[in-house]
Structure 1
Amino acid sequence: MTLHALDTQSKEAELDAWMREEQEKARARRAKLKYPVRTIQELSFLPKPKNWLVKGLLAQGETSAWIAPPGGMKSALMAELTMCVANQQDWHGRKVDSCFGVVYFALERSDLVHRRLMAHCERMGLSPEDREQMAVMICPGMVDLTAADCVPHVLRSIEELSHEYGIGPALLIFDTFAKLIAAGGGDEDKAKDQGRVFANIQRIKDAVHGPHVALVGHTGKDESRGSRGSNAFLGDVDVMVSISGDQIKTATVVKANDMAEGPLFSFKSIVHEFGLDEDGDPITVNIVSAEEVATASPSEREPKLTANQKTMFAMLHDAGASGLLTEDWNEKARQAGIGIKRRADLTDIRTSLKSKGLIREMGDRWTVRH
């Protein structure tokens, strides 16, 4: 080897040693930051696969919202989800890879939640020994998640799952979102009150290694406008599912970060009988039926539209395959007299058309689903 080659190798070795030293200094410096940062070079080129609870739908570390009008079976659906996740059973055709821990915060009607879970235990044929292995806990108290000092108390309740079963929770259900705000005198219509709740939800997720948080919410008086209260709710969840229908309910994804929007699955309710009371009358509870129900396509469901919804849909349809940017669509709507007095009407109409599976959004461009 020549002296020149040796000299080159020596310089390269010195450079490598210097770079490693600088990287170590940088890591040590960042470790002291209250708000840690990472360079893009430190990120993996290929993103890691998600840790799924329910494959392709519910991932750990994310937040979902399940909204429906009163009596829309949203809480019944969460009871069924609890049992499937805790017992490694597929949920409406989607794979559950393991038995996960669940903490169900039943802020209202906790006795109804309990009856539904027991009904599913009976229908699944679970023995008392099987039930003892299920890592499921119900918290029936009111929880004020608008207050940061509530978080340590919530965490202590969650920790009981680990003490009892030896595993941490992978799913936290809060039923209902409205009560999380109302418990502290907050207003569901105020974005700032919703913001406090979501900030505290993130603190909880960070403290217990990123469980999935499922929020049960209500639609407004006009179901077509989506969730009740401030529309900030829509922006703070990773997945929002709207439940609608009479005899047959359909769960429809109206917002998602990493999956297609549109109909998810359909289901029916069934009355489960536990036995008879002292008067000989049946003791019953309404739960989600295990019967498979085909999901109707948007064209088969023939969604009902208001006059303004029809007008805005027609505008987008006439734009063809290229669709319309949000502001261009807003301008056309305003020229037609829509959204002049209340700008939020335009957002509400778009949300409704999405929930009915009629339109889609890519970036800031909207197109009709064909």
Structure 2
Amino acid sequence: MGEWLGQMIEVDVTNIAHGGVSVARHDGRVVFVSDAIPGERVLVRITDDKKKSFWRAETVKVVTASKHRKDHVWSAASIDRDPDNRAGGAEFGHIELSHQRTLKAQILRESLERMAKVTHAPVVEVVPGDDERNGLGWRTRVSLHVNDAGNLGPFAARSHRVISVRDLPLATPELSAAAPLDQNFAGFERVDVLNPSSGGVRLIMGKQKPQVITELVGEREFSLLDSGFWQVHHGAAEVLTAAVQDAIDPELFDPAASNLDLYGGVGLFAAAVGDKFGPATKITTVEAESSATDHAAQNLSEWLGARAETGRVDRWLRQLVTGASATERARLERATVVLDPPRSGAGREVVELLASAAPAHVVYVACDPVAFARDVAFFAEKGYTLRAVRAFDLFPHTHHVEAVGTFTRD
């Protein structure tokens, strides 16, 4: 291995893969190619030939272009640049916007078919206003990195090399205008730039003390720390709130059951459930980060039956199911559970613990189609069927896609 590293070859791109890369073959070997579109012939440079089963490569030149190719929305990531100097974070920016969604839907559908043996074909839905802005101006949070010279920028695609840029077209106009791209930050490793719903743009650098910010979802306010998690797209929290509310079947929902919001953050989805079913709704949100739990308690204070607990979801569930009384088990069996795990998914242990509680209804918010499909298979093993799934384009010009799946007991 190693003799092909850095060499140029021409390949025909035949498919899309998870992770923002396309699929080609060379002498029978799979080659994962960045900055290409299925249907194209491209000249690529081999960047990784260590595996016997596949290589990785970067597109250097487009020989035969797809009809869906267009000029990249971000010049810093353009095909005209050497692959080593292309900014990361907009890996679908060379693809026509509606075709990006077609590819994302294909990845989700094929992941579910391959890993969970189920067939669902959701259309990737658009956040209102995104098409009018050509998928730009949506990011409310950007992490920028500092090189040895103190220059600020994003990492290059698939590396930790900092790329100096003049603009941030995926960021909101306010964030883009305020980002200190031309300033020197020697002595720091990273600068986070935030544009929350209120209070203006702010920078987070080094070990500065986190500050409380307010995010708005419709007319509802959520307090959280500026270092905490919140949806990146300015419209995502509102879109997902509505999607979770729509996913819950009123005939299955029992406001007096032991309803759960797992990986609950600052209470966004617990609030969505409470807003739909009323202030007496019983729901417990569980989050590992104690500062988020503190804010969840505040954000959910108007619901009499809402609680916020700190704990790792796997440990918390294990304690719940092993210590539940007969009465509590009956409440769990009538429950609706919303879970929004990290990109790695919930995983087998959490799915099995949750299934052992036997809730009537599960709504899963997923930000990774492969991890989601794997968990769908785990749920199926435990007697839960994926009844419906919707998908949302909350990350235009990237390969990421959000899904909301609804499960019921067989």
TM bucket (normalised to shorter chain) is: under 0.3
Q: Return the TM-score normalized by structure 2.
A: 0.23
Asked which structure has the greater RCO (Cα within 8 Å, sep 6+), the reply is 1
- The structure with the largest alpha-carbon Rg is 1
Structure ranking higher in strand proportion: 2
Structure ranking higher in helix proportion: 1
